[in-house]
């Protein structure tokens, strides 16, 4: 019989708290030769191999990854699974991009068999890229969420998803109503929220595609189900912001539309947050609402540059997202690479520690899941990624010239992508392996 204790030996890095840009931060733990011990999918112990080897449980299976770095599973706090087949679509900015590519693609998710096939591919792709948890948009069709949750449940993944609410300013074939938005979401919440590792997110697409009646229904759902998520977009693109000002003249700002309908609170997660002001950021902080930095999408659909520093200084929780298909890749390692370049363009800094924190424990905090995932604290779920530090000739060569842990990690992140991911483990089991 297979042992229920599994010990993974490699270099191990994780965060205990936010390291900010402190290169000497006490909030990280690094073992150049470490062991992560798991039992039935949970973390039991982390330490130096030298010490732990002597005291491993007798029936423990040891899995050794020399020249590899083990980190917590990456957390993508904003992504659209139905947009997998339109990733890398040419030439449009947000509003035209939605009309030209997104809406026709999402139409196909009325067909559950299609949705299931895309969901399987999408989850394979996440795991190939080291992402083990995500906050995921479905489409307006309840079947899209059924298919996604079924696929995620079969793999025992910790995932959050929801049916899109949109009852105006989109093609008739994609519209729901305030009533069906409410009843369909309620049915999905009752069936899926809190089932195994799955959670539900009430998901209005963005303010322009929901009537006031529908936003009020979203607020009603949140009142009835205090621990479900709220997932939407805000202040991504200038034309969108101007449109919202026209549609909701009674609101002080785009963010204020959501505040007026009672949508801002802990577990509310807003993608983009690019064109906000100080009052908006203060409102997000006081309500416990999280912002998602989507570097690839900021650049790919040309929306603007998220200011991580202003957002963090305002005490807003921040996660990292790919926003596929607005973003043109699944890899959060590539996302970190673009995040760094965006902060450079803003004349600020992003340390390797801060960047990897955002993709792990920071993401878990943004999702209020830091009691379950995000680092290797004892008792947490054993979701982790094994990165090959010799994945490419260039990485191998560059790492020979690094002096400090920060230099090494920075090189790994700036040169890294899916080629580095040797394995992704979900609750202590390999869900992807090269
Ligand atoms: N705003 C409203 N819908 C979308 C979407 O699908 N993607 C992005 N990036 N922004 C949106
Ligand atoms: Zn998005």
Cα–ligand 1 centroid distance for 109 (angstroms): 17
- Provide the pLDDT for residue 1: 52
Q: Are 5 and 56 in contact (CB under 8 A)?
A: yes
* Alpha carbons 56 and 51: distance in angstroms, whole number: 9
SS3 sequence of the chain: CCCCEEEEEEEEEEECCCCCCCCCCCCEEEEEEEEEEEECCEEEEEEEHHHHHHHCCCCCEEEEEEEEEEEECEEEEEEEHHHHHHCCCCCCCHHHHHHHHHHHHHHHHHCHHHHHHHHHHHHHHHHHCCEEEEEEECCCCHHHHHHHHHHHHHCCCEEEEECEECCCCCCHHHCCCHHHHHHHHHHHHHHHCCCCCEEEEEEECCHHHCCHHHHHHHHHHHHHCCCCEEEEEECCCHHHHHHHHHHCCCCCCHHHHHHHCCCCCCCEEEEECCCCCHHHHHHHHHHCCEEEECHHHHHHCCCCCCCHHHHHHCCCEEEECCCECCECCCCHHHHHHHHHHHHHHCCCCCCHHHHHHHHCHHHHHHCCCCCCCCCCCCCCECCEEEEECCCCHHHHHHHCCCCCHHHHHHHHHHHCCHHHEEEEEECCEEEEEC
* Pocket of ligand 1 contains residue 102 by CB under 6 Å: yes
* Pocket of ligand 1 contains residue 106 by CB under 6 Å: no
* Alpha carbons 228 and 200: distance in angstroms, whole number: 6
ipTM comes to 0.99
Cα–ligand 1 centroid distance for 145 (angstroms): 17
- Provide the pLDDT for residue 168: 98
Strands 28-39 and 198-204: unpaired
* Alpha carbons 136 and 231: distance in angstroms, whole number: 9
**Residue 231: φ, ψ to 5°:** -130, 120
- Provide the pLDDT for residue 389: 98
Cα–ligand 1 centroid distance for 289 (angstroms): 19
Q: Are 290 and 316 in contact (CB under 8 A)?
A: yes
Ion ligand 2 residues within 5 Å by Cβ: 271, 323
- Smallest CA-to-CA distance from 326 within 237, 225, 224 is with 237
If you take atom 9 of ligand 1, which residue's CA is the nearest one? 326
Closest ligand to C-alpha of residue 95 is 1
Residues in contact with 40: Cβ distance below 8 Å, sequence separation at least 6, in sequence order: 4, 428
Atom of ligand 1 nearest to the CA of 206: 2
- Smallest CA-to-CA distance from 361 within 23, 12, 28, 26 is with 28
Using a 10 angstrom Cβ sphere, with 0-12 exposed, 13-18 middle and 19 or more buried, the burial of residue 58 is exposed
Domains of the chain: 5-72+374-433 (2.30.40.10), 74-330 (3.20.20.140)
Cα atoms in the 13 Å half-sphere on the side-chain side of 270: 34
* Pocket of ligand 1 contains residue 303 by CB under 6 Å: no
* Pocket of ligand 1 contains residue 80 by CB under 6 Å: yes
b/e per residue, 267-300, with b = 16+ CB within 10 A?
A: bbbbbbbbbbeeebbebbbebebbbbbbbbbbbb
Q: Are 247 and 209 in contact (CB under 8 A)?
A: no
Q: Are 254 and 241 in contact (CB under 8 A)?
A: yes
If you take atom 7 of ligand 1, which residue's CA is the nearest one? 326
Per-residue pLDDT of the chain (434 residues; tens, 9 = 90+): 566 899 999 999 999 999 999 999 999 999 999 999 999 999 999 999 999 999 999 999 999 999 999 999 999 999 999 999 999 999 999 999 999 999 999 999 999 999 999 999 999 999 999 999 999 999 999 999 999 999 999 999 999 999 999 999 999 999 999 999 999 999 999 999 999 999 999 999 999 999 999 999 999 999 999 999 999 999 999 999 999 999 999 999 999 999 999 999 999 999 999 999 999 999 999 999 999 999 999 999 999 999 999 999 999 999 999 999 999 999 999 999 999 999 999 999 999 999 999 999 999 999 999 999 999 999 999 999 999 999 999 999 999 999 999 999 999 999 999 999 999 999 999 999 99
If you take atom 11 of ligand 1, which residue's CA is the nearest one? 233
Closest ligand to C-alpha of residue 105 is 1
pTM score over 0.95: yes
Q: Which of 138, 323, 325 to mutate to test the pocket of ligand 1 (most atoms within 8 A of CB)?
A: 323
Task: State how far the alpha carbon of 327 is from the alpha carbons of 78, 263, 338, in Å.
Answer: 10, 25, 11
* Pocket of ligand 1 contains residue 343 by CB under 6 Å: no
Task: State how far the alpha carbon of 137 is from the alpha carbons of 81, 83, 235, in Å.
Answer: 6, 9, 17
- Provide the pLDDT for residue 280: 98
- Provide the pLDDT for residue 2: 62
* Alpha carbons 247 and 207: distance in angstroms, whole number: 9
Atom of ligand 1 nearest to the CA of 327: 9
Which residues are 292's β-sheet partners? 271, 319
- Smallest CA-to-CA distance from 366 within 135, 28, 136 is with 135
* Pocket of ligand 1 contains residue 233 by CB under 6 Å: yes
Residues in contact with 405: Cβ distance below 8 Å, sequence separation at least 6, in sequence order: 13, 30
* Pocket of ligand 1 contains residue 236 by CB under 6 Å: yes
* Pocket of ligand 1 contains residue 205 by CB under 6 Å: yes
* Pocket of ligand 1 contains residue 210 by CB under 6 Å: no
Cα atoms in the 13 Å half-sphere on the side-chain side of 247: 18
């Amino acid at each position: 019989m297979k042992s229920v204790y599994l010990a993974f030996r490699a270099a191990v890095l994780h965060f205990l708290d936010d390291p900010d840009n402190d290169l000497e931060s006490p909030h990280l733990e690094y073992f150049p030769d470490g062991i992560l011990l798991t039992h039935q999918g949970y973390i039991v112990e982390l330490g130096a191999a030298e010490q732990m080897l002597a005291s491993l449980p007798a029936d423990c299976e040891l899995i050794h990854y020399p020249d590899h770095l083990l980190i917590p599973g990456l957390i993508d706090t904003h992504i659209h699974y139905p947009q997998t087949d339109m990733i890398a679509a040419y030439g449009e900015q947000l509003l035209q991009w939605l009309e030209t590519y997104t809406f026709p693609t999402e139409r196909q998710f009325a067909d559950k068999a299609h949705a299931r096939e895309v969901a399987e591919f999408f989850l394979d792709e996440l795991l190939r890229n080291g992402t083990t948890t995500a906050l995921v948009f479905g489409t307006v069709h309840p079947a899209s969420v059924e298919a996604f949750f079924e696929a995620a449940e079969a793999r025992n993944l910790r995932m959050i998803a929801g049916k899109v609410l949109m009852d105006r300013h989109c093609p008739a074939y994609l519209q729901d109503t305030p009533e069906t938005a409410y009843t369909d979401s309620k049915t999905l919440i009752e069936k899926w929220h809190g089932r195994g590792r799955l959670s539900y997110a009430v998901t209005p697409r963005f303010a322009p595609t929901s009537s006031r009646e529908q936003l009020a229904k979203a607020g009603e759902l949140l009142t009835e189900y205090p621990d479900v998520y709220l997932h939407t977009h805000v202040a991504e693109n200038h034309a969108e912001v101007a449109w919202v000002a026209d549609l909701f003249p009674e609101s002080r700002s785009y963010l204020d539309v959501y505040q007026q309908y009672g949508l801002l609170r802990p577990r509310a997660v807003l993608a983009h947050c690019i064109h906000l002001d100080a009052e908006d950021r203060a409102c997000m902080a006081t309500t416990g609402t999280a912002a998602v930095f989507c570097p690839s999408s900021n650049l790919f659909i040309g929306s603007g540059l998220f200011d991580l520093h202003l957002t963090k200084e305002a005490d807003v929780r921040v996660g990292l997202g790919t926003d596929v298909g607005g973003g043109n890749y699944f890899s959060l390692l590539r996302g970190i690479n673009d995040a760094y370049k965006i902060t450079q363009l803003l004349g600020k800094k992003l340390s390797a520690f801060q960047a990897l924190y955002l993709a792990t424990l920071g993401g878990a905090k943004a999702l209020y899941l830091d009691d379950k995932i995000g680092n290797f604290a004892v008792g947490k779920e054993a979701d982790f990624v094994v990165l090959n530090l010799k994945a490419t000739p260039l990485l191998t060569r560059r790492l020979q010239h690094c002096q400090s842990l920060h230099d090494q990690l920075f090189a790994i992140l700036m040169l890294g992508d899916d080629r580095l991911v040797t394995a992704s483990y979900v609750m202590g089991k390999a869900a992807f392996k090269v």
